[in-house]
C-alpha cells in the first residue's frame, strides 16, 4: 500500500558544478524545477525519502539539502508569487 502523497520540496546549495548538475538531473527525473536549486513533486513519502537519500549521498562537505513535506492542510495555505505557478496535485504519479 503506497504511503501518503504530499507535496515535497527539495532545495539545495551545492558548491561543485558537477555535483550540482548530477543532483539536478536526478531530481528532474521525478520533480519539477521551480527555481535554479528548488524542485517540487507530489510523491509518496517513501519515494521522497529514497530520492532525498540519493541526493544527500552526492553532497560534498560544505553542501546542503533541505527537504520539506507539505500536507494537504499546508498546501491549502501555500502561495506562489511571480512567474512560476504552484505545482498542483496530479491524477497520476510517475515512480
pTM for the full model?
A: 0.84
In a domain, 61, yes or no: yes
In a domain, 27, yes or no: yes
| Sheet strand arrangement including 38-44 | 32-35, 38-44, 5-13, 64-70
In a domain, 39, yes or no: yes
Local structure of residue 30 (DSSP, 8 states): T
- 31 with 41: CB under 8 angstroms? yes
pLDDT tens-digit series, residues 23-32: 999 999 999 9
Using a 10 angstrom Cβ sphere, with 0-12 exposed, 13-18 middle and 19 or more buried, the burial of residue 37 is middle
In a domain, 84, yes or no: no
94 grid coordinates: 510517475
pLDDT tens-digit series, residues 7-64: 999 999 999 999 999 999 999 999 999 999 999 999 999 999 999 999 999 999 999 9
In a domain, 83, yes or no: no
- Which residues are 68's β-sheet partners? 9
Q: How many domains does the chain have?
A: 1
Its domain, for residue 9, covers 5-76
Report the CATH number that the domain containing residue 70 is assigned in CATH: 3.30.70.240
Amino acid at each position: 500500500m503506497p504511503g501518503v502523497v504530499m507535496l515535497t520540496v527539495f532545495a539545495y546549495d551545492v558548491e561543485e558544478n558537477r555535483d550540482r548538475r548530477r543532483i539536478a538531473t536526478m531530481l528532474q527525473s521525478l520533480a519539477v524545477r521551480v527555481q535554479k536549486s528548488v524542485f517540487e513533486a507530489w510523491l509518496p513519502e517513501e519515494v521522497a525519502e529514497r530520492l532525498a537519500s540519493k541526493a544527500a549521498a552526492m553532497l560534498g562537505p560544505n553542501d546542503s539539502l533541505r527537504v520539506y513535506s507539505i500536507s494537504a492542510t499546508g498546501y491549502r495555505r501555500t502561495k506562489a508569487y511571480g512567474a512560476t505557478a504552484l505545482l498542483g496535485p496530479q491524477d497520476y504519479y510517475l515512480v
